[in-house]
Amino acid sequence: MALSSKHLLGLQGVPKEDIQTILDTAHTFREILDRPIKKVPTLQGKTIVNLFYESSTRTRISFELAEKRLSADAINFSVSGSSVSKGETFKDTVKNIEAMKIDMIVVRHAAAGAPVYLTKITDANVINAGDGTHEHPTQALLDMYSIRQKVGHLEGLKVCIVGDIAHSRVALSNIFGLKTMGVKVSVCGPSTMIPRDIKDLGVDVIHNIDEAIQENDVLNVLRIQLERKAREYFPSIREYAKYFGITRERLEKNGKDILILHPGPINRGVELSSEVADGSNQIILYQVTNGVAIRMAVLYLLGTLN
C-alpha cells in the first residue's frame, strides 16, 4: 500500500490507485479523530517541518494536528518575519533546515513550482500545502474524500467548481484529482476569472450559476479574494453576489438537493449567503475535520515509505 512517489507535489499525473490509497487510508485515520485519545505512535521519531512562506493559519494548524496525532515532532517555520527579511535565499533557508536533520517538509509558498524546486535541493519528502496559483493537493483530496463519504462514490458524479478559477490552486488540484477519479468536472464563474485554455484540461465552462446548480451533483464554491488585485477581475462585489452567489432562493428555484463544499474561509453574503453557509446542503466543517485525516494519511504514506 505504498504511493508511487516520495513527494506529494500536486494531483496532476497522480495515478488513480494512489488517490484511492490516500482516501482509504484517511478513512482509517478518520476513526481515530473520534476517539477520546486521538494519538497513534505511527510517525514517532520523524521530524516534520511546516515551512510556510505565506501565512495560512488553517492549513498549518490542520497539518500540525495531523503531525502531532501521528506522534511526529512538528516544527513550524514561518518566513514572513524570518529569513526573507534577512535576504537569505530560499535554497539557503532550506539547506539550513535540512542540516538540522529533518525527514519531511510541508511547504506553503506564494510562487508556483516552489515545492518542485524544493525536491531538487533536499532529500526530505516534500508535501505541497499550496504553491501560488498552482496546486493545493491535500485540499482537493479532502474535498474528494468528503464527497465520497457523503455520496458513496466519485465515479460518474458531476462536480462544478465555482468562483475565481484563474487564481485558485484549489480549483486546479480538484480538476486534476476529480478527473482522474472519473468525475465530470465543470467550472463556473465570470469569464475574466476563467483561464482561456481551461477547456484543454477537459472541463466544461459555464457562466450561469443556475445552470451550474441544475447540471451538477456537487458545487465546490471557492472563496472570492477581496483584496485589490483580485478585485480588478470583476466589476463589484454586489454584482458578483447577485450573479454568482449561491442563495437559498437559487437552490430552491432550481429544486435540487445539491452538495455544497467550500474550502474556507467564507465570505458570507458574497459567494455563499449565510443561509446556505449554515444550511443543510453544505458540509464545510465536515471538510475541515476530514482535512486532518487526509493529512494524516499523506504524512503516514510518505513518512513510512522508506
Partner 1 sequence: MKIVLKNVDVIHPEENINLKESSILLNNGLISKIGKLTDDDIQGAREFDFTGKILVPGLFDMHVHLREPGREDEETVITGCNSAASGGFTGVACMPNTEPATDTAEVVKFIIEQAKNHLVDVHPVAAASVGRKGEIISPMAELVDAGAVAFSDDGVAIKTASVLRRAIEYASMYDAPIIEHCEDETLADGAMNEGINSTSLGLPGLPSVAEDIIVSRDILMAEYTGGRIHIAHISTKNSVNLVREAKKKGIKVTAEVTPHHFTLTDDSLKSYDPNFKMNPPLRTQADVDAIIKGLKDGTIDCIASDHAPHSIEEKESEFQYAPNGIVGFETTVGLSLSELVNKNKISLEEFVKKISINPRKILNLPIPIFKEGEVANFSIIDPKHVWTVDISKFISKSKNSPFDKKLLTGKTIAVINKKKMFYDEQWIDLTSA
Residues that bind partner 1 (CB under 8 A): 12, 89-91, 109-114, 116-117, 131-135, 169, 172, 195-198, 200-201
Q: Which is nearer to partner 1, 86 or 196 (CB)?
A: 196
Q: Which is nearer to partner 1, 178 or 251 (CB)?
A: 178
Q: Which is nearer to partner 1, 13 or 182 (CB)?
A: 13
Give the nearest distance from C-beta 19 to partner 1 in angstroms.
17
Give the nearest distance from C-beta 39 to partner 1 in angstroms.
35
Q: Are 43 and 72 in contact (CB under 8 A)?
A: yes
Q: Measured at the alpha carbon of residue 147, what is the angle toward residues 70 and 219, in degrees to the nearest 5?
A: 130
The SS3 assignment for 106 reads: strand
Q: In angstroms, rounded to a whole number, what is the distance separating the alpha carbons of residues 63 and 83?
A: 22
Q: Which is nearer to partner 1, 199 or 242 (CB)?
A: 199
Please give the backbone phi and psi of residue 106, each rounded to the nearest 5 degrees, phi first: -100, 120
Q: In angstroms, rounded to a whole number, what is the distance separating the alpha carbons of residues 193 and 126?
A: 30
Give the nearest distance from C-beta 268 to partner 1 in angstroms.
28
Q: Which is nearer to partner 1, 171 or 181 (CB)?
A: 171
Tell me the Ramachandran region of residue 109: left when phi exceeds 0, alpha when psi lies from -120 to 50, beta otherwise: beta
Amino acid at 79: V
Give the nearest distance from C-beta 114 to partner 1 in angstroms.
5
Q: Which is nearer to partner 1, 200 or 252 (CB)?
A: 200
Sign of CA dihedral 97, 102, 103, 105: negative
Give the contacts of 85 (CB within 8 A, at least 6 positions apart): none
Q: Are 221 and 196 in contact (CB under 8 A)?
A: no
Q: Which is nearer to partner 1, 26 or 114 (CB)?
A: 114
Strands (E), 197-280: 204-206, 218-221, 259-261
Give the nearest distance from C-beta 110 to partner 1 in angstroms.
8
Give the nearest distance from C-beta 41 to partner 1 in angstroms.
36
Q: Are 164 and 138 in contact (CB under 8 A)?
A: no
The SS3 assignment for 196 reads: coil
Give the nearest distance from C-beta 43 to partner 1 in angstroms.
28
